[in-house]
């Protein structure tokens, strides 16, 4: 799978860990920044990942900041994005099953590295259920 990933300085180190984890599983990963731990602004990074995913160039995206909140808000402003902020495995599984989320957001200051990788694995390995009720609801989200 082709994955777009980006994080601000608050998740710089964790992003590197996630990239290595994804690559070890055979995924193709493109890093959209930040490229060093100095202070950076998450809006540009989150928007870049979101646009790359909705363009169809990437299958899914992952965005991170200290809380995951700001960067998820930015990503969700891009039409066609369904970015879910997850801090547990159940939410990661259900957002794929029910919402067909195409971008995962996490807070590096909120969850530790082991849980991060479990959430990433769940998000990557769970397919959308395709159930009619979920398809209907997603179409209502995307009206505009």
Average pLDDT for the chain = 97
Calculate mean pLDDT across residues 125-129. Answer: 97
Asked if 83 is an active-site residue, the reply is no
Decide if 38 contacts 76 (C-beta within 8 A).
no
Query: What is the pLDDT at residue 108?
Result: 98
Q: Please state the separation of Cα 41 from the chain's center in Å.
A: 17
pLDDT beyond 70 at 141:
yes
Give dist(CA 34, CA 12) in Å, integer: 7
The single residue of 9, 21, 27, 98 carrying the catalytic annotation is: 98
User: Residue 143 above 80 pLDDT?
Assistant: no
Peptide bond before residue 143 is cis, with ω within 30 degrees of 0: no
Mean pLDDT to the nearest integer, 53-58? 98
Q: What is the pTM of this model?
A: 0.96
Answer for the pair 37, 12: CB distance below 8 angstroms, yes or no: yes
| Catalytic site includes residue 98 | yes
Range of the domain at 6: 2-141
For residues 4 and 19, give the distance between their C-alpha atoms in angstroms, rounded to a whole number: 10
- Count of alpha carbons within 13 angstroms of residue 25, beta-carbon side: 16
* Catalytically annotated residue among 9, 65, 83, 86: 65
Find residue 29's DSSP bridge partners: 3
Q: Render pLDDT for 78-124 as a digit per residue (tens, 0 to 9).
A: 999 999 999 999 999 999 999 999 999 999 999 999 999 999 999 99
Q: Name the domain count of the chain.
A: 1
pLDDT at 83: 98
CATH code for position 110: 3.40.1400.10
Stretch 19-38: mean pLDDT: 97
CB 88 within 8 A of CB 95: no
Gap between the Cα atoms of 141 and 17, Å rounded: 33
Of the pLDDT bands very low, low, confident and very high (cuts 50, 70, 90), residue 142 is confident
pLDDT at 63 > cutoff 70: yes
Q: Note the pLDDT of residue 124.
A: 98
Output the pLDDT for position 144: 60
């Amino acid at each position: 799978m082709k994955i777009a990933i980006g994080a601000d300085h608050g998740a710089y180190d964790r992003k590197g860990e996630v990239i290595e984890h994804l690559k070890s599983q055979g995924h193709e990963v493109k890093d959209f920044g930040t490229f060093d731990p100095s202070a950076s602004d998450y809006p540009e990074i989150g928007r870049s990942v979101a646009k790359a995913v909705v363009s169809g160039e990437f299958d899914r995206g992952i965005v991170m900041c200290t809380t995951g909140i700001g960067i998820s808000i930015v990503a969700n402003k891009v039409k066609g994005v369904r970015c879910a902020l997850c801090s547990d495995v159940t939410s990661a599984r259900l957002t794929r099953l029910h919402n067909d989320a195409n971008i995962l957001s996490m807070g590096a200051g909120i969850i530790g590295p082991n849980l991060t990788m479990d959430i990433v694995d769940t998000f990557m390995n769970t397919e959308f259920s395709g159930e009619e009720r979920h398809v209907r609801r997603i179409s209502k989200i995307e009206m505009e």
